[in-house]
Chain A
Amino acid sequence: MDFGSISPVLLLASLMVAATPLLLAATGELIVERSGVLNLGVEGMMITGAICGFATAVNTGSPLTGMAAAAGGGAALSLLFALLTQFALANQVASGLSLTLFGLGLSALMGQGYQGIKPPPFPEINIPLLSDLPFVGDILFSQDLMVYMGLLICGAVWVMLKYTRAGLILRAVGENHDAAHALGYNVVLIRVAAIMFGGACAGLGGAYISLIRVPQWTEGMTAGIGWIALALVVFASWKPGRVLLGAYLFGGVTVIQLNLQAAGVAIPVEYLAMSPYLITILVLVIMSADRSRAPGSLGRPFHASS
């Protein structure tokens, strides 16, 4: 047993990487749910983003173009969900699950011929000054661009929800769509926009895995991260700050678990692997006492005449 071999700074750095896809996908889903829509298709949108980004990056040689394509791909797939739930008024739970099934199939088909290819490397950026800090600088402030992008998007969402009119409208639509409609807001349009934002973020999260974290393309490579992102949104009680915290916690548990194993600590791996989920349940329970609650219209279909 050798705890000394675990370096806290390195741990934090790898935690930031492990948390980024979760953070991106969960931030997107947070906006979707804040608008009153529950999209369970995050996994499907992530994997679609992963292949769109990968294929584009390989073909154009530009990882940034790949990222843009990933966001586009995720958003395009989410548009299907938007059509189903906002225009055809289909059940959101079933539509979301179907979207995941569809996305997994679609991505596998699109990805044929992309196995065993190495994507173009993603540029790492050094934040001037900060990255020169002794000890921590090199690790915390010279990650890849998307790590900061994730933080930025999360921060922007926080500001948007809290301080802007757009955020207010979004929340109003999510809390009570009939009232928002009565006030003259186009509930359907706002929700479609929110769903597409969620799709784009999930796509980015997926591409982060296929272009940076792994990087390679294999079928089904998101391996359930989309579902964890869903859990994260609730864990965070629909607050962006807590999404960040949660993403680091979820990413952290995995990384710490691996660190402990490598250090030779005899830990029951299966039980540790359960812990993020058990912690989420615990947090859910505590939160329900704290009266933080889901957006009022979450999951309910909206029709103007009803």
Chain B
Amino acid sequence: MKLNKILTTAAMALGLATTAMAEEPTKVGFVYVGPVGDGGWTYEHDQGRLAVEEEFGDKVETVYVESVPEGPDAERVMTQMALDGADLIFTTSFGFMDPTVNVAKKFPNVKFEHATGYKRAENLSTYGARFYEGRAVLGHIAGSMTESNIVGYIGSYPIPEVIRGINSAFIHAREANPDVEFKIIWAYTWFDPAKEADAAKVLIEQGADVIFQHTDSTAPQAAAQNAGDVITFGQASDMAEYKPKPRVSSIIDNWAPYYIERVRAVMEGTWESTDTWGGIASGMVEIGEITDVVPDDVKAEALAIKDSIASGEYHPFTGPINKQDGSQWLAEGETADDGTLLGMDFYVEGLTGKIPQ
């Protein structure tokens, strides 16, 4: 392929130029799906980028493009970054998967890292976070704290990532409180604060006194605050402005350690294509401060769960667990394998309602 050749030559020429000038900083590109001001997903990735800048100072140069539509636009942005001499490019949305694969093929000397996907190559790693580990901890708090025994859950789209979170939260809420029920609303949007606010209100009106959200805005927090006796958890970022109540804890995406580690690997020439699925142990998933609204014993139990997950002693999906239809999924003591978790498309036993198809 002629273009590939041209691109490769260009990239190589640049690569040579880079080596020639030894002091040239390592260039790292970030492709974002949303605006850095979204206060959630993209915001946290950008915090990771800033952490990289802070860590390496002059030795690194970071560039980013925000609000990149998935598809050909993403491919062009990545290509442009590679042409401009990027050594490492992070693409931070599932929808960037195929474009990243395409561009990685054209630039064998540039390293690529794709978030939440499953396609890898010699110069293309994938990384993601085990948010479900955090949900287990929060699920325990939810089950222990609810008085109405109704927990509301706002999901974005019915995809494995979200379903995994619901299952994990539910299993641990049930363990703490066998009477707990989940009410689930699918917002069918990644981002629509007004709709999230409505969804939270509806759940509260229908008796929920704990609200989980798998959407990024603080709208549900505000709705809970207005309603009074409802607790919530921060999502993606800490949402600390709603402390100590309704927000009693949070799951934080912390990409900084991973980004710093990978940039260092490129600088030292030790970068290899890997599949990273980090959790609480690696610090990619953080549990935000558990506020004093949570009783001390519940807080202690939650932290114990967190520690046992971090140490690898406990897996949030440990059998016996049945699927919703009553069939066995995990036998006594068996833990879920990553393959099943990645593609999870079923509810566990006890959850009501159907996953929309």
Contact = CB atoms under 8 A, between A and B. Distances in A.
A115 B188 contact: no
A220 B191 contact: yes
A113 to B, nearest CB: 9
Interface in A237-284: 254-255, 258-259, 261-264, 266, 268-270, 273
B186 A269 contact: yes
A218, A223, A225: residue with the most chain B Cβ atoms closer than 10 Å: A218
A207 to B, nearest CB: 13
Given A117-B241, A269-B188, A216 B356 contact: no
Contacts of A5: 206-207
A175 interface: no
Contacts of A263: 183, 206
Contact of A209 (B152, B184, B193): B193
Interface stretch (B31-39, B107-115, B277-285, B317-325): B31-39
A115 B202 contact: no
B202 A118 contact: no
B198 A14 contact: yes
B43 A262 contact: no
B185 A261 contact: yes
Contacts of A117: 241
B193 A262 contact: no
A167 interface: no
Contacts of A218: 37-39, 191, 193, 217
B194 A214 contact: yes
Nearest to B186: A269
Give the interface size bracket for B toward A. Answer: 35 or more
Nearest to A117: B241
A259 B206 contact: yes
Contacts of A64: none
B352 interface: yes
A11, A112, A117, A264: residue with the most chain B Cβ atoms closer than 10 Å: A264
B250 to A, nearest CB: 13
A221 B193 contact: yes
Given A108-B35, A219-B38, A225 B217 contact: no
Interface string B234-274: 00010001100000000000000000000000000000000
Given A220-B191, A261-B185, A214 B39 contact: no
Contacts of A262: 152, 183-185, 199, 202-203, 206, 208
A90 interface: no
Given A262-B185, A269-B356, A216 B207 contact: no
A116 B39 contact: yes
B198 A258 contact: yes
B222 interface: yes
B2 interface: no
A185 to B, nearest CB: 39
B114 to A, nearest CB: 24
Interface string A215-236: 1101111111100000000000
Given A6-B206, A255-B202, A264-B352, A115 B39 contact: yes
A258 B218 contact: no
A303 interface: no
A305 interface: no
A221 to B, nearest CB: 5
B281 to A, nearest CB: 28
A199 interface: no
Nearest to B202: A258
Contacts of A116: 39, 218, 237, 241
A258 B39 contact: no
A118 B242 contact: yes
A213 interface: yes
B201 to A, nearest CB: 5
Contacts of A259: 202, 205-206
Nearest to A210: B193
B195 interface: yes
A214 B198 contact: no
Interface of A: 5-7, 10-11, 14, 17-18, 21, 108, 111-112, 115-118, 209, 213-216, 218-225, 254-255, 258-259, 261-264, 266, 268-270, 273
12 contacts: A6-B206, A108-B35, A118-B218, A118-B222, A209-B194, A214-B217, A218-B37, A219-B37, A223-B193, A258-B185, A261-B186, A262-B206
